[in-house]
Structure formats: structure tokens, C-alpha cells
Structure 1
Amino acid sequence: MTNTLYIRWSFFIVGLILLALGIAMTIRGELLGIGPWDVLHVGLFINFGLSIGIWSITTGLLIVLSTSLYFKRWPPIGTWLNMVLIGVFIDMFLWVLPIVANPIAEIALFILGVAVMGFGVGMYIASNIGAGPRDSLMLILIEKTGWTVKRVRTLIEIVVAVLGWLLGGPVGVGTVIIALTLGYIVHFTLPLSQKWIVQLTSK
């Protein structure tokens, strides 16, 4: 039991770190645009200040409160930790990662960032410690509609990107790439991570 819990928490924390790193990488590779949720966070930053990480936490809190009121139950501790840690890690990585001036390097950083994000999401959801606010919303919609992960996530990403664009957030071809591909990546990394956890806990 202790070993199983340790492995699950390890997947959870590493997944959050990878997700935040991937987000920061795509923001630094902004030549192609940024992810839908980050378009929203940047739009809020442009209009109201603070930081991208703080707006990530704030929007996450609003989603948590909304879904909790609707379903009349509080999410697990992992959801709260996700909400806070992702925002903190995003700001930390944005502080650490240098601004890239080379177009080829920016494109490479963006593409790698999308892949890292996909693995991060798959890993921390597979841990079953508690999905983040946005992915809790995704899982709820999957449960209610019966749609696939990739279909629901893609729909959410598109809606959020439009809202962010209306607030002045930067939308580019990279935004579309993330909206259309991240769901597909998670569709494969989630069951893969679940398989790894089962293999590690069965030893």
C-alpha cells in the first residue's frame, strides 16, 4: 500500500511539473502562438496585471467552486494542489527559461512543449490523486456526454481560446495546433501512464 501510494504521488507531482514546463516552453516559443488556456490567462494579465501563473490559479479556483456547487461535493486534495502548484510552476519556469530569439529554436521549443504538456497531463490524471480543475471539467463532460477524451478536450480548448482572444490574448497557428492535438496526445499518454503505474505497483 505504501509503495503504491508513493508511486501514484510520484506520477502526480512529476506530471504537474511536466505540464507546467510544457506550458512555459510553448509560451517561450510564442512565434507560433500559445495554448488556449494560456491565451485566456495572458488576456487576463494584459487587462488586469498580476501574472500568468496567478491567473491560472484564479481561473482554476473559479472552475473548482463552480463544479463543486453544481455537484454538491468538494474535489479531492489533489485537485486543490494541482490548481496551486501548476500556477506556481508556470511562473517559476517562465522565470528560468530564457527568451528565445531564433525562429527555428522557437518552433522547436513550441513543438517539444506540446509533447511535454501531453505527457504531463496523462501522468497526473493516471495517478488518480485528483485531476486539475480544467481536467476535472473535462472528465465531468466525458461522463455526461459519453464522448472521448480527445473530443471533449478539443472542444474545451477551442471555446477557451475564443474567450482569451476576445480579451486580447495572442492567438496564432500554435493555438490551433494545441487545441487540435493535445487531446489526441492525452488520449494515448493517459492509458500509457495507467499501464506504467499498474506495472510498477505490481512488482
Structure 2
Amino acid sequence: MLLRSVLLPITATSRRDLVERIVQLVLGLFLYGVALGLMVRGGIGVSPWDVLALGVSGRTGIGYGVVTNLVALVVLLLWIPLRQRVGLGTVLNALLIGPSADLTLALVPAPSSIWVGAPMFVAGLLLLAFATGLYISADFGPGPRDGLMTGLVRRTGWRVWIVRTLIEGTVLVVGFLLGGPVGVGTVLFAFGVGPLIGWFLPWMTRVRTTRSRRPSPASSR
């Protein structure tokens, strides 16, 4: 009974639908980490949450990917008083993105100039929006940060944009004070990520809905 009140139920139209959605979820989270690694390597600034992660990493000597995971776990603890329900996507989000980002940083060298770094950041931003649409449309629950936002909106009754701005602004200020990098990329992320996700997410959702309506091999015999 307790688990039911904490965990989101996993529903699927068929076993095939479930497997395809899990693959979509894992792929989306992996690509999300790759996107973060590319934006960090770009060297022109990062998202507010990554300003915080890199600030903590610089102060403690702990790797960026590990800090990203630790921040996600701390955010999940904030879900408890908000009574947010955890899904499979929530847990995997907190566990997979950090290692994927670290792997990308290990494989992708630092750019030789801003003329290489800036396009690398833009590629990471586009990939992040695509990956976000991919894992959200898999429908296994929100990520830790998104769940914090929706939980606060539900508890306070404030508008989404107000809560989102307060969260991102607080994280950005704390990260900056810790020495995290703030630059042009931070501004590009702030103004670009929303519209890009707004384009990718409906498209991904339509694709998944169409795919889930396909008759299974057993039913087509």
C-alpha cells in the first residue's frame, strides 16, 4: 500500500509497447547526458543546473557526472514533503545522465577555439531538446528537477513560469557563487531550450502514440 502511494504505476498497451518505451527512455536519458557533455565542452556557459554542478565539482574535486547524480538525488529528497510520486523514468534519470555526461567528457576533447566550442554547444542544446522529448514522451514519470517544479506548483498554487524562474534563478546564483561557469551559453539555454522542447516533444508524442496503436504480431494473425 505504501509503495503504491509513492510509485507511479507502469502501464502499457502490450509487452512490445512496454519494451519499446523502456528502450526509448534509456536512449533519451543517455543522449541527454551526451548533450550535457557537449555543452560543457563548448566552453561558452551552461544551464543553471550545470552551473551548480560544475561549481560543486570545482569546489569538492568530485567529477561533474557524479555531482549531477548527487544533485538529482538531493532534489528527490525534496519530493518527500511535496508527496510527489516516483516513476521508473525518475529513478533512471537520476542514475544514468551523470555517467553518460562523464563518458562524453572523456571522449570529446576540449575545443581549440570558440569557433569550435560555440557550434558544439548549439549541437548539445539541440540534442538535449531532442533527448528531452524522447524520454518524456516515453511516459515513465518526470525527472527529479521537473518533478520538483510540478510539486511546488501544486503545493503553492503559483504559476509554472514563476516557480520555474525561482528554481532556476536560485540554482544559478548558488552555482555562480561556487564558481560555476556562466556565459553566453547560459543565456542561449535559458531562451532556447523551452521553444526547442516545445517543438520536439509534441512530435515525439505523436510518433509514440502512432506506434502504440499498431496491432501486435499476435493480434494481426
Q: TM-score, normalised by structure 1?
A: 0.89
The match for 2:39 is 26
Report the more deviating stretch, 92-101 or 153-162: 153-162
Q: Spell out structure 1 runs of 4+ moving beyond 4 A.
A: 141-144, 151-155
The match for 1:4 is 17
CA shift, 1:184, in A, is 2.1
Structure 1 unaligned runs (5+)?
none
- Could you tell me how far apart the structure 1 residues matched to 2:133 and 2:152 are? 17
Question: Which residue, 170, 175, 179 being the options, matches 2:181?
Answer: 170
CA shift, 1:106, in A, is 0.8
CA shift, 1:82, in A, is 1.1
The match for 2:211 is 200
Matched, 1:62 2:74: yes
- Could you tell me how far apart the structure 2 residues matched to 1:16 and 1:200 are? 20
Which has a greater percent of helix?
1
Residue pairs, 1:109-120, within 5 angstroms: 109-120=120-131
Q: Relative to structure 1, is the Cα distance of residues 92 and 142 closer, same or farther in structure 2, using a 3 angstrom cutoff?
A: same
CA contact under 8 A between 1:36 and 1:160: conserved in structure 2?
yes
Partner amino acid, structure 1, of 2:81? L
The match for 1:125 is 136
CA contact under 8 A between 2:149 and 2:160: conserved in structure 1?
no
- Could you tell me how far apart the structure 1 residues matched to 2:191 and 2:15 are? 39
Question: Which residue, 128, 137, 146 being the options, matches 2:148?
Answer: 137
CA RMSD, Structure 1 to Structure 2 (Å) = 1.9
Matched, 1:95 2:106: yes
Partner amino acid, structure 1, of 2:52? L
CA shift, 1:92, in A, is 1.1
CA shift, 1:157, in A, is 3.1
Partner amino acid, structure 2, of 1:135? D
CA shift, 1:68, in A, is 2.2
Partner amino acid, structure 2, of 1:106? G
Structure 2 unaligned runs (5+)?
1-13, 215-221
CA shift, 1:159, in A, is 3.1
- Could you tell me how far apart the structure 1 residues matched to 2:27 and 2:187 are? 26
Report the more deviating stretch, 56-65 or 129-138: 129-138
Per-residue CA deviations over 1:72-129 (Å, capped at 9, x if unaligned) read: x551232111101111111111111111113211111011110111111121111111
Report the more deviating stretch, 182-191 or 12-21: 182-191
Number of equivalenced pairs: 199
Q: Relative to structure 1, is the Cα distance of residues 120 and 138 closer, same or farther in structure 2, using a 3 angstrom cutoff?
A: farther
